[in-house]
Structure 1
Amino acid sequence: MRIGMMADTYKPYVSGITTYIDLNKRALEESGHEVYVFTFGDLDYQDNEPRVIRSPGLPLADTGFYLSLRYKTAAKKLLQTMDVVHVHHPFLSGRLALRYCRPKQIPVIFTNHTRYDLYAQARLPLMPVEVSQSMLQAYMPDFCSAVDLVISPSPGMKKVLRQYGVESHIEVVPNGANLKPFHNAQPLPRAEFGFKEDDILLVYAGRIAPEKNIGFLLQSFAGVSKVIPNVYLLIIGGGQKEHEEVLKPLPGELGIQDRVRFTGMIPYDKLPSHLAMCDAFVTASVTEVHPFTVIEAMAAGLPIMGIDSPGVGDSVVDGESGLLSTEDIASYTAKLTYLCLNRDLQKEMGAAARAASEQYSIERTTKIMLGHYNRLTQNTKPIKQSLDEKLMAILEEFLK
């Protein structure tokens, strides 16, 4: 089967979506399928994998995203030879999927990976919540009804899509992860980082971005560190330079500069051993849909401390594989302190987390997704182009 993955951005940008595409592409290729990634920008980037098709785009500051309303002619023609197309961003890539694939009767699947309402609030704080919500309610229902299948990675995100007004059928298919490196990880020597064996080492891994709520996490950790003298926080990852510049002075302002270590970006194959060195994984993000880093930390045998929200709340069972609190500093700090002080609980929840991670194995989720691909390729019916699609096709021909 020839499968086209369409995304507004891909490597070298690092995100849950790029990780998802990379992992699924590899798994599908190992099963004998041809998988192509269609994206924008980074035309000079040397891909270390085959079949990544890039079209020019206008860079949007240092976000890693590019603006474009069309593919190169060669990319468009190649896309139209796919058996099925899987879209991972609903706006630019989503519209192009409908415009290019519907006339060729190629089934289009859309996975909603992102809480666009909360991202808008984090990235555009001056935009009223009502405006971002009304924009999504105007766009998402029509777009979702135009594709052949809508996928939500978690039950919580399915509820959010219903709140947007989406009435189409939604299948819940978890994001799969390659669990083996995390199950078999050997911890790095703590001494290499200046930590002692009896220290309590917490870890956050992920992008450094406003929507990840890391300021909240640092404020909570400051409260924990006042009670526990040997607790430390390791922050793994990078992101927007502007946000990093705002965030990195915060430990000093909170008086915890000696307790917090920023590692910056590390090679992905080094992440399992970094996680295995730690005692618990912490996150304060409420914008997740199905967080890879949480699943990977669970696979490494770490209990999770998070906020009860779609994504994290779907992955972690409060009191079993970790602890969940409301988005309240006092509540979060109290639960995190309790987890840090109870070594037996850490081990018990870590074992439960490892067992629970099995449901997210890439082997299992790939089989589920392939079932949907096969069903859609067999059942696709001719779809009449809408007026706006016809007009866009005419405009594209004019711009050639």
Structure 2
Amino acid sequence: MRIGMMADAYKPHVSGITSYIDLNKRALEDLGHEVYVFTFGDLEYKDDEARVIRSPGLPLGETGYYLSLRYKTTAKKLLQTMDVVHVHHPFLSGRLALSYCRRKQIPIVFTNHTRYDLYAQARLPFMPEEVSQSLLQAYMPDFCGAMDLVISPSEGMKKVLRKYGVESHIEVVPNGANLKPFQTARPLPRADFGFTDDDILLIYAGRIAPEKNLEFLLQAFAGVARAIPNAHLLIVGGGQKEHVEEIKPLPGELRIANRVRFTGMVPYAQLPSYLAMCDAFVTASVTEVHPFSVIEAMATGLPIVGIDSPGVGDSVTDGVSGLLAAEDIASFTAKLTLLCLDRNLQKRMGAEAKKASEQFSIERTTKIMLGHYSRLTQTTKPVKQSLDERLMAILEEFLK
């Protein structure tokens, strides 16, 4: 089967969507399928994998995203030879999928990976919440209605799509992860980082970005640090320079600078060993849909402390594989303190987390996705183009 993954951004941009596409592409290729990634970006970038097709675009600052309304002609023609296309961003890539693929009767799958309402609040704080909600409610129902299949990685995100007004059928298919490197990880020596075996080592691994709520996490950890003298927080990852520079001084302002360590970006192959060195994984993000970082930490055998919200709340069972708090610093601090003080609870929840992570194995989720792809290639019927799709086609011809 020839499968086209369409995304507004791909490597070297680091995100959960990039990881999803990369991992699923390799899993599908291992099963003998041809998988192409269609994206925008620097045409001079040297990809470390085959079949990544880039079209030029206008870079949007340091975000890793590019703006373009069309693919180059060779990319468009190649896309139209696919058996099925899978869209991972609904705006630029989504509109191009409709324009290029519907007329060729190619089935289109859309996975909603992102809480666009919360991302808008985090990235565009000047935009009133009512405006971002209204825009999504105006766009998403019709867009999803034009898809052959809409996928949500979690039940929580499915409910969010319903709040946007999406009435289309939605299949829930969890994001798959390659669990083996995490299940068999050897911990890094704590002494290399100045920690001892008696220290309680908490870890956050992910992007340093406004939507990850790291200021909240650091404020909660400050309360823990005051109560537990041997608790430490390791923050693994990087982000846009501007936001990293805003976050890094916070531990000093909270008087916990000697208890928080920023590692910066680390090679992904080393991440399992960083996780295995620690006692628990912590996140205060409420924008997740189905977080790889949480699943990978669970596979390593770490209990999770997070906020009860779509994504994290769909992955972690409160009181079993971790502890879920309200989005309230006092509540989060209390839960985190409870886990830090009870080594037996850490071990018990860590074992349950490792067991629960099995449902998210890439082998299982790839099999489910392939079933949907196969069904769609056999049942998709010709669809009459809408007016905006016909206008896009005319614009394409004009811009040639």
TM-score (normalizing by structure 2): 1.00
Matches within 5 A, 1:31-180: 31-180=31-180
Q: Could you give the per-residue CA deviations for residues 242-271 of structure 1, whole angstroms, max 9, x where no partner exists?
A: 100100000000001000000001111100
Q: Distance in 2 between matches of 1:30 and 1:54?
A: 23
Task: Name the structure 1 match of 2:188.
Answer: 188
Task: Name the structure 2 match of 1:222.
Answer: 222
Residue identity in the other structure for 2:5: M
Q: Does 1:313 align with 2:316?
A: no
Q: Does 1:207 align with 2:207?
A: yes
Q: Distance in 2 between matches of 1:39 and 1:113?
A: 16
Task: Name the structure 1 match of 2:383.
Answer: 383
Q: Distance in 1 between matches of 2:56 and 2:42?
A: 8
Deviation of 1:375 (Å): 0.1
Deviation of 1:35 (Å): 0.1
Q: Distance in 1 between matches of 2:212 and 2:35?
A: 31
Residue identity in the other structure for 2:33: H
Task: Name the structure 2 match of 1:394.
Answer: 394
Q: Could you give the per-residue CA deviations for residues 252-302 of structure 1, whole angstroms, max 9, x where no partner exists?
A: 000010000000011111000000000000000000000000000000000
Q: Could you give the per-residue CA deviations for residues 168-189 of structure 1, whole angstroms, max 9, x where no partner exists?
A: 0000000000000000000000
Deviation of 1:44 (Å): 1.7
SS where residue 197 of structure 1 aligns? coil
Q: Distance in 2 between matches of 1:175 and 1:42?
A: 28
What's the % identity of the aligned pairs? Answer: 82
Q: Distance in 2 between matches of 1:115 and 1:182?
A: 27
SS where residue 4 of structure 2 aligns? strand
SS where residue 201 of structure 1 aligns? strand
- The runs of at least 4 consecutive aligned structure 1 residues that moved more than 4 Å come to none
Deviation of 1:391 (Å): 1.0
Task: Name the structure 1 match of 2:250.
Answer: 250
Task: Name the structure 2 match of 1:326.
Answer: 326
Instruction: Please provide the CA RMSD for this pair.
Output: 0.4
Structure 1 spans left out of the alignment, 5+ residues = none
SS where residue 50 of structure 2 aligns? coil
Structure 2 spans left out of the alignment, 5+ residues = none
Q: Could you give the per-residue CA deviations for residues 182-221 of structure 1, whole angstroms, max 9, x where no partner exists?
A: 0000000000111011100000000000000000000000
Q: Distance in 2 between matches of 1:46 and 1:395?
A: 31
Deviation of 1:42 (Å): 2.3
Residue identity in the other structure for 1:359: Q
SS where residue 319 of structure 2 aligns? coil
Count of residues in correspondence between the two structures: 400
Deviation of 1:240 (Å): 1.1
Deviation of 1:387 (Å): 1.1
Q: Distance in 2 between matches of 1:176 and 1:363?
A: 8
Task: Name the structure 2 match of 1:21.
Answer: 21
Q: Distance in 1 between matches of 2:46 and 2:398?
A: 32
Deviation of 1:45 (Å): 1.4
Matches within 5 A, 1:347-386: 347-386=347-386
Q: Distance in 1 between matches of 2:5 and 2:362?
A: 17
Q: Distance in 2 between matches of 1:184 and 1:136?
A: 42
Q: Does 1:235 align with 2:235?
A: yes
Q: Distance in 1 between matches of 2:282 and 2:352?
A: 16
Deviation of 1:395 (Å): 1.1
Q: Distance in 2 between matches of 1:336 and 1:309?
A: 17
Residue identity in the other structure for 2:99: R
Residue identity in the other structure for 2:345: L
SS where residue 258 of structure 1 aligns? helix
Q: Distance in 2 between matches of 1:289 and 1:386?
A: 30
Deviation of 1:123 (Å): 0.2
Q: Distance in 1 between matches of 2:361 and 2:351?
A: 17
